[in-house]
Amino acid sequence: MENSSCTCNRNLSVDEVKNMVRELRDKDAYVKKKYGYNLFSKSNCKIPENDKTYERFTEELNACFRRYEINTCIRKIYFLAQCYVESMYFTTTQEAGSETYLRSKPYYPFIGRGILQLTHSGDKPGEAGYKQYFKYLGKEGYKTDYEILNKSLHYAVDVSGYFWYRGKLLTDGDTLKSKYPNPKGTYTIFPKKKVDGYTSIDLNLVADDDNVREATFLVNGGQNAIDERINFTKEIKNIFNYEKCKNKK
């Protein structure tokens, strides 16, 4: 019965998550041929086999949604669309590239991990994001145990919600004026948060503003794969029947 209401303030069902991935992949022959409907099947993804299921993924997504206030249709749609791109269509939880290539990055070994791959965001290359998340968990050892974000489905999803909510690290100031206009043509002014000496922005607020370009800027730092992100956001809106959302503005 839960599926008769929009996805605001309720869990997604396993069938809804499965259906979303099916519909997205059915529209892309290359991705469908390569990965079928399998989750996290790329070889650089170290999630245990028994966690690569829709049941477990749905469970972790719902826990993440609850913990990080990703509680309305538009917030879920935005989070899922950005994660779908960043995780290469939910096939991996680690930044793409060979070991040699990744080692050449100034932020190695603090490379992008999790389904949003925001972990390397920070002022000092890489470290700040990991340090911040481990501190939040009350866990020691971010300098040695960083791989848990690619080896555990729980942490791979949770860290993504954490960065969605706690935000990408930004320069000081109390507000951020959006770089890109929302669909109404407005440049929205978002309040910044202060977290452990860093300034950041809650991406839920950017989702509320329905601004894919701004969300992409804050996730990616640029407009990489913007057409895909716009397209997936639109498709997921259709899949979850966003037109019928009771909180749609």
What residue ranges bind Zn ion (CB under 5 A)? 6, 8, 73, 245, 247
φ, ψ of residue 2 in degrees (nearest 5): -60, -25
Q: 128-132 long-range contacts, Cβ below 8 Å, gap at least 24? A: 128/169, 128/198, 129/163, 129/169, 132/166, 132/195, 132/196, 132/198
**Of 8 and 31, which has the nearer Cβ to Zn ion?**
8
- SS3 (DSSP) at 171: coil
Please, what is the minimum distance in Å from the beta carbon of residue 240 to Zn ion? 8
Judged by DSSP in three states, 193 sits in: strand
CA–CA separation, 44 and 178 (whole Å): 35
Quick check: helix, strand or coil at residue 133? Answer: helix
What's the one-letter identity of residue 147?
E
* Nearest distance, CB of residue 208 and Zn ion, angstroms: 12
Shortest distance, position 54 Cβ to Zn ion, whole Å: 22
CB of 53 to Zn ion, least distance (A): 26
Measured from the CB atom, the residue of 158 and 208 that comes closer to Zn ion is 208
Handedness of CA 199, 200, 205, 206 (dihedral sign): positive
Please say which residue, 168 or 237, places its beta carbon nearer to Zn ion.
Answer: 237
How near is the Cβ of 104 to Zn ion at its closest, in Å? 44
Residue 15 host element (H or E): helix 14-26
Locate 38 and state its tokens: 């399998």
In terms of CB distance, is 6 or 47 closer to Zn ion?
6
Residue with Cβ nearer Zn ion (6 or 176): 6
Tell me the sheet residues that pair with 194: 199
In the bound complex, what is the minimum distance in angstroms from residue 226's beta carbon to Zn ion? 25
Cβ distance to Zn ion smaller for residue 12 or 203: 12
